[in-house]
Amino acid sequence: MELTKERVREIIARRVAKEFKDGDVVNLGIGLPTEVANYIPDSIYVALQSENGLIGMGPTPCEAEEDCRISNAGGSLVTIAPGGCFFDSFTSFGIIRGGHVDATVLGALQVDEKGNLANWMVPGKMVPGMGGAMDLVVGAKKVIIAMEHTAKGAPKILKNCTLPLTAASEVNMIITEKGVMEVTDKGIILKELSPYSSIEDIENSTEATLIIDEDLKVMEV
């Protein structure tokens, strides 16, 4: 079944949102990870932090709610939940580097079976650098990569990253539209498989060797 781009992003964001616990402080990276805010269950409170200096982000605003003064680190307009607050970059990175972020959700260009992450150097394009991602992957207690499984059909989960690394051996979990994978010392374990995929499909679109969990579950989408 061919999924639309919007449906792929929704599947990933919805599944990521299930990883949080009540009271967690979570940083959402720019791009797809910001959509996770729209699917956090009402039954729990998650404090969403942005490295440009705010904590307590809410869902993506509708046009009537947009406030040009409130944006995330990528410059996209966001809402602020009751009790949310603003602060300077010094305080923001003190939160990140001090180990106060329970989880960070980031996109990636490449991830490999050692848990290495490459998510900033786009080949052929001028980029300013890796930004706050370098601090987040080291400072957060859990690093979740939320990304499409392939790029124009080419695998993004590799045996070894070929692009410059953002961090080495820091990725804990990879969530794509095809499945949920845990990065361990033994390699990448496929824990959940999307109902839109198959073991053969996910193995064919992954360069790294996948260890199929004995208790493989169907991914909730």
> Residue 135: which of 161, 106, 113, 108 has the closest Cα?
106
Active site residue 10: no
Select which of 10, 19, 51, 177 is catalytic: 51
Q: How far is the C-alpha of 38 from the C-alpha of 212, rounded, in Å?
A: 30
pLDDT value of residue 47 = 96
- Condensed to tens digits (0 to 9), the pLDDT of residues 58-110 reads 888 988 889 999 998 888 899 998 899 999 999 999 999 999 999 999 999 99
Alpha carbons 41 and 23: distance in angstroms, whole number = 12
Q: How far from 39 is each of 62, 99, 105, CA to CA, in Å?
A: 15, 25, 14
Look up residue 199 and give its amino acid.
Answer: I
Global pTM value = 0.94
pLDDT, tens digit, 9 for 90 and up, residues 115-160: 999 998 777 676 666 678 889 999 999 999 999 999 999 999 999 9
